[in-house]
Amino acid sequence: MRAVEVHHLHKYYTVHHKAPGLMGSLRAFFRRRYRVIRAVEDVSFAIEPGEIVGFLGPNGAGKTTTLKILAGLLHPTAGEVRVLGFIPQRRERAFLRQITLVMGQKQQLLWDLPAIETFLLNQAVYGIPKAEFQRTLEELVELLDLEGLLTKQVRKLSLGERMKCELAAALLHRPRVLFLDEPTIGLDVTMQARIRDFIREYNRRTGATVLLTSHYMADVAALCRRVLVIHRGHLLYDGDLEALAERVTPYRIVRVTMAQPLPLSALSPFGEVLSLNSHRAELRVPRARTAEIAAALLTALPVTDLAIEEPPVEEVIRRVFAEAAEWDPEQAARWPELEEEEEEGEGPAAYAGG
């Protein structure tokens, strides 16, 4: 059985649209105008047990909406969703005991109490036996380095310490599926790396399935071989991150260090020179000719060091979005929202299925 199955998922919101000022209020009173926001549009994918999958897209792409539907917090407008065989919006107890949703911008910890009080509350909510609770807590304290934090008032914890406690609180019932929405947002580079290490180790120890959204591409590159890319509610890509890089960025970056400074004219025959600073240069070369060009550089120039790198993940994703806009600009312009005037008795269901 697959951990997550999504078939032709749609989620539309209908919101009241009012022009500013008194006249706008009067017009809205007699004839309301509505704006239909197509947050998710015909999205389908499946995730196998134990996978860590990155869910990428700009703000407003539909990532958080999709995660909330998978967690049962929102009902889909159309389509079918199953998590561990359950239909999420039914919110069955057996389903809730096996999933968790962690949102980096929301918190469940009780602000004026120590984190351990929230942990004990979750123990009661999930009905976790005392011995199992203690065993899991000790494991999480070790993995997240929580020693000394559990008895501190939450308001006195740093952002990174709070985030570690949030993760622990969400995992006390040992969920089989983790939906992580920006778990490293606002954290410094060191803390981001520690959270990534924890997610990787938790997945290894428990076999939990992870669907991760993040604007920090380092999170995705470090944890996810497979990515889903969503843009304006549409799923643009589902597959291997390296394959995506090869498809949309047909080049590699070659960094060279030379024994002596060389002019631009000496390097330009080998590729596009992106930067040149004294003894160091950075070139963009065709992916298919990388080995050939590297060998030529070593033969022709006084190279003391050479490194070949993939383009940054941020650039790969940016090119995917640019391709989407160029593919069908007229349709892309219509994706974010459609404004409709609704007659009395009409509602969101009128737009289901497009």
Residue 3's closest CA among 197, 206, 172?
206
pLDDT, residue 80, reads: 96
Same fold, 4-245 and 250-309: no
Q: To which H or E segment does residue 7 belong?
A: strand 4-17
At residue 328, the 3 state secondary structure works out as coil
Domain boundaries, the chain: 4-245, 250-309
- For the record, the structure tokens of 332 come out as 């892309």
The H-or-E segment that residue 209 falls in is: strand 209-213
pLDDT, residue 327, reads 56
Task: State pTM to two decimals.
Answer: 0.78
Instruction: Assign domain 250-309 to a CATH class.
Output: alpha beta
What is the SS3 assignment for 266-291? Answer: HHHHHCEEEEEECCEEEEEEEHHHHH
Check: CATH 1.10.10.10 for 4-245? Answer: no
- Contact in structure between 36 and 10 (CB atoms under 8 Å): no
Q: What DSSP string runs through 15-62?
A: EEE--SHHHHHHHHHHS-EEEEEEEEEEEEEEE-TT-EEEEE--TTSS
Give the contacts of 145 (CB within 8 A, at least 6 positions apart): 164, 194
pLDDT in tens, the chain (354 residues): 899 999 999 999 888 777 788 887 877 777 888 888 899 999 999 999 999 999 988 888 899 999 999 999 999 999 999 999 999 999 999 999 999 999 887 888 998 999 999 999 999 999 999 999 999 999 999 989 898 899 999 999 998 899 999 999 999 999 999 999 988 888 888 888 889 999 999 999 999 999 999 888 788 888 999 999 998 899 989 999 888 888 888 899 999 999 999 899 999 999 999 999 988 999 999 998 999 999 999 999 999 999 998 888 778 878 887 776 665 544 444 433 333 333 333 333 332 333
Q: Where are the alpha helices (DSSP H) in the chain?
A: 21-30, 63-70, 93-96, 115-126, 130-144, 159-171, 189-206, 217-223, 241-248, 264-267, 290-300, 313-327, 329-334
- pLDDT score, position 353: 32
